[in-house]
């Protein structure tokens, strides 16, 4: 099943960037469709509170997602639940956006806002206990560990924020970091070190997630650690492990060569256009200094307006 080529642009992903792009596409009177494999909102749905979005001193991530979705729909956003499998530019310059078990959408432009995927530790026990004590979302799973001892692995903003968040449920939270200093912003570090329920374990890397099966259910018992300086091994007893060690951009959806950095983040120009004409990128999968909700919507604003201009120039050159 294939759709007709009657869209001006296809927006892939409905996180903050995708929803903002959809809103601006609607305001610009573009015929756009937004494709999202899950519920609109993206990473906002896995974030309890947003405290750095202008106009909101504090707002729940889910509430902000709902407001952004409603705002986009007010301007006519067509948001469809579909998992995109690949983006391919055809010989005539039209993009074919294939979906899993669904139609192929076609348009002269695409705005890719597909975000990324959390990086795994890739150690024994991690996959086995995923969902049974190993998690990548504190907001999603923190409440399951009331009054228990937890470990957070990582040293960036996400790890520090989630460690602080988990203390509302856990009796104690260990932050396990492989270096002797954190990468997180200073204000987050200050909050972390001021929290009496958090203890940082420096210079340790995780070798294994340990656990067992009890009454037919898997459960985590601890982490096997190795000191990155001395090489000595130790065991840290915990009931749950929350992993925040990185993020991989979902740029693999692009099925031809494109300019990117060594980590796979997409390189764009100042209009958010990639090295492939007509393909724009916005949000967390784009090369940039920082990845926040504010930068995502800023990217998307530029991308949507740039699409309008690109299409106008395309029509002008075609003599339409």
- pLDDT band of 189, cuts 50, 70, 90: very high
Compute the average pLDDT of residues 223-234.
Answer: 98
When pLDDT is averaged across residues 180-198 and rounded to a whole number, the result is 96
Give 273-292 pLDDT, tens digit per residue.
Answer: 999 999 999 999 999 987 88
Instruction: Quote the pTM value.
Output: 0.77
pLDDT score at 70: 98
**Looking at the predicted structure, is the pLDDT value of residue 2 above 70?**
no
Tell me how far CA of residue 112 lies from CA of 49, 83, 105, in angstroms. Answer: 26, 13, 14
254-272 pLDDT per residue, tens: 999 999 999 899 999 999 9
Architecture of domain 9-118+247-318: 3-Layer(bba) Sandwich (3.50)
Confidence at residue 161, expressed as pLDDT on a 0 to 100 scale: 92
Q: Residue 184: name the closest of 213, 163, 159 by CA.
A: 159
Give me the chain's average pLDDT, please: 93
Per the structure block, which two tokens stand in for 144? 């399951």
- Identify the band that residue 124 occupies on the pLDDT scale cut at 50, 70 and 90: very high
The pLDDT tens digits for 47-93 are: 777 888 999 998 998 999 999 999 999 999 999 999 999 999 999 99
The average pLDDT across 301-312 equals 97
Check residue 5 and give its pLDDT. 59
| CATH assignment, 134-243 | 3.50.50.60
pLDDT at res. 84: 96
Average pLDDT over residues 298-305: 98
Catalytic residue chosen out of the listed positions 8, 20, 141, 299: 141
Pick the catalytic residue from 6, 140, 261, 269.
140
Average pLDDT over residues 237-261: 94
Catalytic residue among 78, 85, 137, 227: 137
pLDDT at 45 over 60: yes
Q: What pLDDT score does 52 carry?
A: 85
Q: Based on the residue annotation, tell me whether 85 is a catalytic residue of this protein.
A: no
Give residue limits of the domains in the chain.
Answer: 9-118+247-318, 134-243
Q: Report H helices in 108-179.
A: 138-141, 157-166
3-state secondary structure of 281: strand
Residue scoring higher pLDDT (190 or 315): 190
Residue 317 confidence (pLDDT): 78
What pLDDT was estimated at residue 1? 45
20 classed as catalytic: no
User: What is residue 50's predicted lDDT score, i.e. its pLDDT?
Assistant: 84
* Percentage of residues in the chain having pLDDT higher than 70: 98
């Amino acid at each position: 099943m294939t759709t007709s080529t009657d869209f001006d642009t296809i927006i892939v992903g409905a996180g903050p960037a995708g929803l903002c792009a959809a809103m601006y596409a609607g305001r610009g009177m573009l015929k756009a469709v937004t494709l999202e494999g899950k519920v609109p909102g993206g990473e906002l749905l896995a974030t309890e509170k947003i405290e750095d979005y202008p106009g909101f001193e504090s707002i729940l991530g889910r509430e902000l997602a709902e407001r952004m979705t409603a705002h986009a729909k007010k301007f006519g956003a067509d948001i469809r639940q579909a998992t995109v499998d690949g983006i391919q530019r055809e010989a005539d310059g039209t993009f074919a956006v294939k979906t899993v078990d669904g139609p192929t959408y076609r348009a002269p432009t695409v705005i890719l806002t597909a975000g990324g995927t959390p990086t795994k530790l890739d150690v024994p026990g991690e996959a086995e206990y995923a969902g049974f004590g190993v998690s990548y979302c504190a907001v999603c799973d923190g409440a399951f560990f009331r009054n228990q001892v937890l470990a957070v692995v990582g040293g960036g903003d996400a790890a520090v924020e989630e460690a602080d968040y988990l203390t509302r449920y856990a009796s104690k939270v260990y932050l396990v970091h492989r270096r002797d200093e954190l990468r997180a912003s200073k204000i987050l570090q200050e909050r972390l070190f001021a929290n009496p329920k958090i203890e940082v374990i420096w210079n340790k890397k995780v070798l294994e997630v340990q656990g067992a099966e009890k009454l037919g259910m898997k459960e985590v018992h601890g982490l096997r650690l190795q000191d990155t300086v001395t090489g000595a091994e130790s065991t840290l007893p915990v009931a749950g492990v929350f992993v925040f060690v990185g993020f991989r951009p979902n740029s693999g959806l692009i099925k031809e060569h494109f300019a990117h950095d060594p980590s796979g983040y997409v390189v764009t120009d100042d209009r958010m256009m990639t090295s492939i004409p007509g393909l724009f990128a916005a949000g967390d999968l784009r090369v940039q200094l920082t990845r926040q909700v504010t930068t995502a919507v800023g990217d998307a604003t530029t991308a949507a307006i740039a699409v309008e201009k690109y299409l106008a120039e395309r029509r002008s050159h075609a003599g339409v």
